[in-house]
Structure 1
Amino acid sequence: MFRWVERSSVEEEILCQFTFPERPGALMNFLDSFGPRPRWNTSLFHYREGRAGANVLVGIQVPEQEMVEFRNRAQVLGYEYVLVNEDTVFKLLMH
């Protein structure tokens, strides 16, 4: 029997879809950019490999006043990404 489990609400969580390049060290580069040094908690990490790279859905708890810093770190990292918080499909999937 299938049972639907609702994901609990996570405070100040942003959802991003990153495309990791297919090269050694790509995950480590990401972790170094958003890892333990920043005060942000990674609340979700879902990896799916594809032809052009790995699609990674990431939930990170980032207070609104720190979004500029988050965007700067993502830009320096250089991986393609999109914030999906307001996407209707992701809202249905995640909550």
Structure 2
Amino acid sequence: MVSQVKLEEFLGKVEGDMGGACGTPLAFVGDRLEDNLNLLGWMFYSASSTICVPASFGHDGAALGAQAGEAKIKEVVAGGGFTKFRRATQPPTNMVFEARP
């Protein structure tokens, strides 16, 4: 994710008739480092550190990467003007969130 903050601000401006926004599936991770110290977490941290974080920094983003966790994503979404936030679904390796104004 290049800049989740910029994405949420943009979605807040254009959501209009949709009444909400559904975010990109994010890796299923916990809010604390300890929750992510497993094989899948190590893989996501490696990819995120080499791809997501540098790309985000390059676009003045928050550099959340793939390991932000639900609490941080909720904070960013609220910063974009959304007041309702929930986990819409949870396949085995991802989380999908729904945000509404």
TM bracket, shorter-chain basis:
0.3 to 0.5
TM-score (norm. length: structure 2): 0.35
TM-score (norm. length: structure 1): 0.36
1 or 2, which has the higher strand percentage? Answer: 1
1 or 2, which has the higher helix percentage? Answer: 2
